Amino acid sequence: MANFFKAASKPRLASQQITVTIDKLDMNGVGIARGKNKPIFIAGALPNETVVAKVFEQKNKYTRAKLMSIEKSSEKRVLPKCQHFGVCGGCDLQMLDLDEQLRFKQNKVAELFSRNFAAHAIANNTEKLQLPWSEAVKSQPWHYRRKARLGVQFNKTHQVTVGFRQKSTNQLAAIKSCPVLVEPLNNIFPLLKTLISKLTVKSAIGHIEVIKAEVCEHNNSNGTKEQVVLVVRQLKAMSEIDINLWQDFAENYNCRIMVDDGISQQCLTDDKEGDVSETGIAPLIYKLADNSQITFATSDFIQVNHQVNIEMINQALAWLKLEPEDIVLDLFCGLGNFSLSLARKAKFVVGVEGVQAMVDKASYNAELNNITNSQFYQADLNSNWLSNTWASEHKFTKVLLDPARAGAEQAVEQLVSLQVPQILYVSCDPATLAKDSAILVSHGYKIEKIALMDMFSQTKHVETMVLFKK
What single DSSP character describes residue 88? B
In the residue annotation, 428 being an active-site residue is answered as: yes
SS3 418: helix
Beta-carbon contacts of 289 under 8 Å, excluding residues fewer than 6 positions away, are 310, 313, 314, 341
Element (H, E) at 310: helix 306-320
Burial of 411 (0-12, 13-18, 19+ CB in 10 A): buried
Phi and psi of 99, rounded to 5°? -60, -35
Helix (H) or strand (E) holding 42: strand 38-43
- Residue 424: name the closest of 443, 397, 404, 444 by CA: 397
Q: Is 11 exposed, middle or buried (0-12, 13-18, 19+ CB in 10 A)?
A: exposed
Task: Establish whether the linkage from the previous residue to 184 is cis, with ω within 30° of 0.
Answer: yes
Q: What is the dihedral of CA 58, 61, 65, 70, to 10 degrees?
A: 140
Separation of alpha carbons 422 and 298, rounded Å: 34
Catalytic residue list? 428
